[in-house]
Amino acid sequence: MKVFFDTSVLVPAVTDQLPNHPAALACLVARLKERGAEVMTSAHALTECYATLTALPLPRRITGPEAVQLIETNFLKRLRILNLTQADTLAAIKLTAASGGISGRVYDALHVVAARKAGCTRIYTYNLDHFRSLASDMEITAP
């Protein structure tokens, strides 16, 4: 099975100060250990992770170097990272427009295009409604 992880799950998976950390981490670890599973995310998700990790208003703030280490250790070394082409980016823009989406919804569409391109059948996200409106052909689920 090929599965895709959205930023909304990756960030809490590595941030123990967030309430959904246990569920996100357990889901990620389970998929990584699952026989025959291929666990993926997009290069775009990594940039979103960095932006989110370094902006979270946490009691113990995450610095830039700490965010880099979290991304390298937990994602780059364990997940397949998908890259998009110019044509893929245009496809995400068109998908957003066709679904009636505006503004930042296009970033979710980038993830959907990457997941489809890689043949994923499931996307893990906490933004269920956003992704369901863009990818009715995939299983969209929260951890």
**Which domains are present in the chain?**
2-141 (3.40.50.1010)
Beta bridge partners, 81, equal 41
pLDDT in tens, 119-135: 999 999 999 999 999 99
Helical ranges in 34-63 per DSSP H: 43-55
pLDDT in tens, 22-34: 999 999 999 999 9
Supply 81's token pair: 């990272």
pLDDT in tens, 42-63: 999 999 999 999 999 999 999 9
Q: Measure the CA–CA gap between 53 and 26, rounded to whole angstroms.
A: 19
pTM equals 0.95
What pLDDT shows up at residue 139?
A: 98
Q: Is 28:41 a contact under the CB 8 Å cutoff? A: no
What pLDDT shows up at residue 91?
A: 97
